[in-house]
Amino acid sequence: PITSGELLCLGSSLAFSGLFYYLYRRKARVVARIQEAPKLQVDDNLPALVSAAEGRCLPYVALEGIVLPAQAALTSHYHEGLQGVIQKLLLKEHRLIWNSLARNW
Q: What is the mean pLDDT of residues 3-22?
A: 96
In a domain, 101, yes or no: no
Instruction: Count the alpha carbons within 13 Å of 16 in the hemisphere toward its beta carbon.
Output: 6
pLDDT, tens digit (0-9, with 9 covering 90-100), for 13-70: 999 999 999 999 999 998 998 888 888 888 888 889 888 988 888 877 888 888 788 8
Full-prediction pTM beyond 0.85?
Answer: no
For residue 89, being part of any structural domain is answered with no
The secondary structure of residue 78, as a DSSP letter, is S
Which backbone phi and psi does 36 adopt, to 5 degrees?
-90, 5
Strands 39-41 and 62-64: parallel
**Domain assignment present for 91:** no
- Residues 23-32: pLDDT tens digits? 999 999 989 9
For the chain, what is the domain count? 1
Task: Find all residues with CB under 8 Å of 98, minimum gap 6, and list them.
Answer: 104, 105
- Within a domain: residue 96? no
- DSSP-assigned letter for residue 37: P
Domain that holds residue 22: 4-84
CA distances from 16 to 7, 10, 19, 34 (A): 14, 10, 5, 27
